[in-house]
A = this chain, B = another copy of it.
Amino acid sequence: MVAEKSQKDPKEYLPFLNTLKKMETNYQRFTIDKYLKRYEKAIRHLSKCGPEYFPECLNLIKDKNLYNEALKLYPPNSQQYKDISVAYGEHLMQERLYEPGGLVFARCGAHEKALDAFLACGSWQQALCAAAQLHLSRDQLAGFGRSLAGKLVEQRKHRDAATVLEQYAQDYEEAVLLLLEGAAWEEALRLVYKYNRLDIIETNIKPSILEAQKNYMAFLDSQTATFSRHKKRLLVVRELKEQAQQAHLDDDVPRGRESDLFSETSSVVSGSDMSGKYPHSNSRISARSSKNRRKAERKKHSLKEGSPLEDLALLEALNEVVQGTEKLKDEIHQILKVLFLFEFDEKGRELQKAFEDTLQLMERSLPEIWTLTHQQNSAAPVLGPNSTANSIMASYQQQKTSVPVLDAELFIPPKINQKTQWKLNLLE
């Protein structure tokens, strides 16, 4: 068989065959399978050749990326199993697959390596399990806890970071500060009472709450401004496009006319897009905004005035502003509660009103922006007895309108869920 598959001259492979004959059976089989590039089989045979061949085996495993297959060949508590696992984990780490890497390390008892891997990806619970198995001193554990908390703050997991600091670094004070940074007011209060440090309420909690209230006010302001600007521009663009279409039908106007129309009107709306340029750098809101900014960069359509799909871009941007506001409901509810609790009733009322106004502005504008719904609503349609989902779709389809499918959802207005209880009636 070797002879068959080989491209070599008989003169060359005869010595090879002679060498083979002198080998121990398993090593012989290994050599043949390796020669035939059947590596999975090859390592199976090599694994039976005894521990002195293990280094050769491990090299082949690494070389051909056969870790999973190789692990099945050794009992889980053997040294070889551990060695292969460590090599596997290191391979995964190189590929930046930290969590799987950590799992492989943890599973074979390479706790120190597991610790690094889980720390790298912020798998904090697994990281702490690994740390426990290293029997660190109290100080070492505290130090590790601090690194871990830092990583978690980077990932904006303030609650988890606080848990680590409180329970593994015995630093509830820093934990409270992280909770405030993460707008987890009630959890911060719980810790303050748990450790009977009510002074922190005056020194940190109240100032943080007031600061956050200010930030929310500014954020809502900017959301409202962006929303109104985009909406206004959308109505202009639609008007212009319809005029252009009309002109096109009437006069068979040459191409290029449309874009002229657009540049003429570019002074209609002044100011650039402010969304995502929220000024406060260490607040929760600004983190959200910078995420939005990155998201905005991934957008499909350009908001640039006069760009051919500007109307779609505006719909998209409007959708995002509405959804961003809708998502604030829980956070707003949380801060309203503590504003009331600490008798900042005026600040609470102010925020509640601003949020309500913002939501109402958006809600009232939905039918103007997502006009399909608007028109159908006013026509009070009834579903015919014989119409089916199929027939409805077919009738849409007969129009052969050219909406790119991926944009279809742009034509569905975003949901403003009336049922979400964000309001605090105490502040009415």
Q: CB within 8 Å of B: which residues of A?
A: 68, 76, 97, 99-100, 103-104, 106-107, 123, 125-126, 128-129, 132-133, 167, 186-187, 189-190, 193-194, 196, 237-238, 241-242, 244-245, 248, 255, 258, 308-309, 311-312, 315, 337, 340-341, 343, 371-373, 375-377, 379, 381-393, 395-405, 408-412, 424-426, 428
Contact = CB atoms under 8 A, between A and B. Distances in A.
A410 B398 CA distance: 20
Contacts of A186: 123, 125-126, 129
Copies in the complex: 2
A384 B372 contact: no
Contact of A373 (B193, B392, B408): B408
Q: Which 6 residue pairs of A and B lie closest in terms of their CB atoms, listed nearest first?
A: A132-B193, A125-B186, A241-B388, A125-B190, A372-B393, A238-B390
A129 B106 CA distance: 38
Given A373-B408, A398-B399, A189 B125 contact: yes
B396 A107 contact: no
Given A68-B428, A133-B193, A340-B107, A410 B381 contact: no
A241 B397 contact: no
A340 B383 CA distance: 52
A258 B194 CA distance: 68
Contacts of A255: 385
A278 to B, nearest CB: 26
Nearest to A71: B345
Contact of A128 (B104, B107, B193, B248): B193
A399 B405 CA distance: 19
B341 A132 contact: no
Contact of A386 (B97, B106, B241): B241
A352 to B, nearest CB: 13
Contacts of A128: 190, 193-194
A241 B388 CA distance: 7
B386 A100 contact: no
Contacts of A244: 386
A193 B67 CA distance: 29
Given A242-B390, A311-B388, 16 more contacts: A99-B337, A125-B187, A128-B194, A132-B193, A167-B194, A242-B388, A244-B386, A245-B391, A248-B386, A258-B386, A308-B385, A372-B396, A373-B405, A373-B408, A376-B403, A399-B399
A133 to B, nearest CB: 7
Contact of A412 (B123, B309, B373, B409): B409
B372 A397 contact: yes
A306 to B, nearest CB: 13
Nearest to A133: B193
A1 to B, nearest CB: 30
Contacts of A382: 402, 404
A341 B107 contact: yes
Nearest to A315: B389
A329 to B, nearest CB: 15
